[in-house]
Amino acid sequence: MSEISKERAIFGGGCFWCTEAIFKSLKGVISVLPGYIGGHVENPTYEEVCTGTTGHAEAVELVYNPAEVNYQQLLEIFFATHNPTTLNRQGEDIGTQYRSEIFYVNEKQQHAAKEYIDILESEKVYNDPIVTQLSEATTFYVAEDYHKDYVALRGDENRYCQLVVVPKLNKFKEKYQMKLK
């Protein structure tokens, strides 16, 4: 039996609860971890990141099988499931920690992300300019355990999840039925 090929991608698309739930349901995604990246404080906590003073973004780190889902498809889903035109904001979540940012792990990802943004801009997919940042990946700090699988484990009891995350997740699942696990 041959070993599965694995690659890594990191996306900051606002609240990591929603981003994690979306990517976890995608065929070819092996694992998804919520966490923090892009800041200047080592080992930040959720409470510290929420202040907006650490410079970190809430993000997810994916491990995926490129034979089942490629980076281009991950980019498509990333851009289709959050608003890349609002600076430091996703819906009612406001602050630099909720920014739209792609943390590339190699030059191939950097080039693919830049090219995809250029296509979206030239095709005027969005009414406003895309503000998604492209940054080289730095240390990814895994979030506290209670954030992992948050929507699956606590979504029913959390009003934010019911009002924001679940409708977004349902819309994603409807649009991308053929790509779901």
Query: Which residue type does 29 have?
Result: V
Q: Which two tokens stand for residue 86?
A: 């609002």
> Helix 166-175 to helix 71-80 angle, to the nearest 10 degrees?
130
Q: Hey, CA dihedral for 22, 24, 29, 35, is it positive or negative?
A: positive
50 among known catalytic residues:
no
Kindly list the distances between the CA atom of residue 127 and the CA atoms of 65, 76, 95, 120, in Å, as whole numbers in the listed order: 33, 17, 22, 11
Q: What is the DSSP string of 107-161?
A: HHHHHHHHHHHHHHHHTT-SSS----EEEE--PPEEPPGGGTTHHHHHGGG-HHI
Q: How far apart are CA 92 and CA 72, in angstroms?
A: 28
Q: Could you count the other beta carbons within 10 Å of the beta carbon of residue 145?
A: 7
Q: Are 53 and 121 in contact (CB under 8 A)?
A: no
Active site amino acids:
15
